[in-house]
């Protein structure tokens, strides 16, 4: 499946023509700047959002060593935005939100907060909800839980790449923040055990 990511990034800028060219030609991505921050829109295939994020991090850092991926930026949408994207009326979408329609499936996702006086949702959550009915985008943005997991793993992935170590693939089908912590802890424990066994072997010799 293909996933779409909007990363908040650092270490590169839109004033660097070479960087912009690499992002466009190699990754079919777009680098933008808003209020002093840079945002990178890219897509990648994977067995799930975590796996796809892992793949794109490795590819991006290989081509752009100065790039630092800070976090996943949420694509927030209101009722009007959702209506436009799915080509439905605002009233129709409002009925989904209130639970008046489509009650046979899991409920409409919780909002991320309030913008102005209206609630906004993460498009990844709305898109995942729409998938129950065979609707939504074919290219999926990460849900809130997936984005939290990716945000948690980003620094660790990048430190591992900086250290020149092999990067463990976190292909988690339904990963949450706790699952990511568990996987990372197990990885560190396995490495420590391996080193301890090596030290004991040298001592025995």
| pLDDT tens digits, one per residue of 55-71 | 999 999 999 999 999 99
* CA quadruple 54, 59, 61, 67: dihedral sign: negative
DSSP 133: G
pLDDT above 70 coverage of the chain, percent = 78
- What SS3 class is residue 40? strand
Bridging pattern class, strands 113-115 and 76-77: unpaired
How many C-beta neighbours within 10 Å does residue 86 have? Answer: 17
C-alpha gyration radius of the chain: 20
- What does the pLDDT look like over 22-63, one tens digit per residue? 999 999 999 999 999 999 999 999 999 999 999 999 999 999
């Amino acid at each position: 499946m293909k996933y779409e990511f909007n990363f908040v990034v650092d270490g590169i800028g839109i004033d660097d023509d070479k960087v912009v060219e690499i992002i466009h030609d190699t990754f079919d991505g777009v680098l933008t700047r808003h209020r002093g921050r840079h945002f990178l829109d890219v897509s990648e295939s994977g067995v799930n959002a975590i796996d796809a994020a892992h793949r794109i991090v490795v590819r991006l850092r290989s081509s752009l060593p100065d790039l630092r991926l800070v976090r996943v930026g949420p694509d927030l949408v209101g009722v009007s935005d959702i209506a436009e994207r799915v080509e439905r009326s605002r009233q129709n979408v409002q009925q989904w939100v209130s639970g008046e329609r489509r009650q046979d499936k899991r409920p409409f996702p919780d909002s991320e907060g309030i913008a102005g006086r209206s609630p906004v949702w993460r498009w990844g959550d709305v898109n995942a909800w729409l998938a129950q009915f065979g609707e939504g985008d074919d290219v999926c943005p990460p849900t809130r839980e997936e984005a939290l997991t990716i945000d948690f793993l980003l620094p660790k992935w990048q430190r591992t790449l900086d250290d020149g170590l092999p990067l463990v693939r976190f292909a988690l089908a339904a990963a949450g923040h706790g699952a990511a912590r568990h996987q990372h802890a197990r990885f560190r424990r396995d490495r420590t055990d391996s080193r301890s066994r090596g030290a004991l072997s040298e001592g025995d010799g």
